[in-house]
Amino acid sequence: MNLLSVPPRCHQLRRINALAASLTLAIALPLTSAFAAEGGVRPGATASSEFVPLFNRRDLTGWRVSESAVMPKQPPAAWKIENGVIIGLGDGNAMLASQWDYGDFELEFDWMAENDGYDADLFIHGDRLVRFDPIRLTKTLVGGPQETDRGEGDYNAGAKGMIGGGGNARKPVPELQKPAGEWNTWRIVVSGSRYSLTCNGKEAWTCTDHIPRRGYIGFRVYRGPFHLRNIRLSETGFSSLMNMAEWEVYPGFGGKGPLEQHWTTEGRLWTFKGPGPSIVTKRKNFASYHLRVEFLFADPDPKDINSGIYLRGVHPWQADIWEHKWGSGLWGLNHAYVPAKKNLQDLGKVVRPEVRMDNPQGHWNYLEVRVENNIVTTWLNGRIAVDHYPVQQADPKFPNTGGIGLQAHWPWKEVRFHNLRIKELK
């Protein structure tokens, strides 16, 4: 039997979730940065379950349209922002998609339809085109994957591999939604094969046969206007590293001067402008981990901008951040670290990405690094940059543990880092 064709076993939950009923979403405050005010930690939550806004109330930073790599400077006519709210006007081909993909997470957002004739979907584990795992947001079908009036050929209805598998596997919950013109608050929790939906403080259903995977979050509006606000997400198991009190000057590389003079902070947004020192976490025992960060070349003249993330606190082994023909990814060449019999040129071809994957100047980049048992894999903007590179084979001195570092490098141009977080692997 094809496992993708097996619908989840769902059960309707009738009790009111008191915790969810008391949960209120904070309205993000405007900031000078492209990112929104930070979401903080929910009451009773741990430091590894912080909510981070996915929408800054001003523009679509952190999002893209369908298969595009970045959001165009002029968003498509299907989407607009008014008074801190995203409004989908209705164009099924212009899907709003997250820049990051996610595994286990909690997602919270508010939505409102202006009239009863709307038609929209939420996707929670889609591919890069955001084509899978829809949850219906449309009137009587809300919460379910059922057939719509879009026609028999619509892939949202009954396609294999979707949550619910099509048909009536997941019961719609229109009775839990508010009328058109009023705001609804949804909460989605995904944990392995289990995921659940809470609507306006009441548990709608829980499914236990979801196929665990990573994927993108997306919104699709066929008929609008459809409003979205307060979109927040917590990545399960990740902890923020954006507390400057837990960092110190890295003595091995970089410029000079006080840390505070060259590294400025605004919540989860850090800005470096040199000449100044590289920095490293005071904690030095990170071993295997999964690290994520957004970075932006902010200098008006990006030529030769150079930075990076030190892996286990060692220069030059780093996930490079470099305005160069090779682009960002992983780098590690240094004569002192390469065994004598290795050919430096050949090693460089293995270490650096095969093609440049950086987003165009002026756009944020999304860098992911996985270090596991001395094997390093990096992703940049949704693509694998370096795949399972055996760092310790190339450099026996590469330590088994160490800190996380941010590099300062000539020509000391402005680089911004946002939402650096880590998930330690057992």
**Contact (CB, 8 A) for 136 and 179:** no
Q: Which residue has the tokens 């002026």?
A: 362
pLDDT computed for residue 91 by the predictor: 77
Q: Do 3-237 and 241-424 fold alike per CATH?
A: yes
Q: Which residues of 214-362 form beta strands (DSSP E)?
A: 215-223, 226-235, 239-240, 247-254, 263-266, 269-272, 277-281, 289-297, 306-311, 314-322
Mean pLDDT score, 10-37: 35
Domain ranges of the chain: 3-237, 241-424
Residue 24 has pLDDT above 70, yes or no: no
**Contact (CB, 8 A) for 7 and 164:** yes
* Tens-digit pLDDT profile for residues 193-225: 888 899 999 998 888 877 878 899 999 998 889
The CATH number of 3-237 is 2.60.120.560
* Tens-digit pLDDT profile for residues 111-161: 999 998 888 889 888 888 887 778 888 765 666 543 433 433 343 433 332
Higher pLDDT, 347 or 401: 401
Q: How far apart are CA 76 and CA 108, in angstroms?
A: 25
**Confidence (pTM):** 0.79
pLDDT computed for residue 333 by the predictor: 43
Q: Any idea which architecture 241-424 has in CATH? A: Sandwich (2.60)
Q: How far apart are CA 194 and CA 190, in angstroms?
A: 6
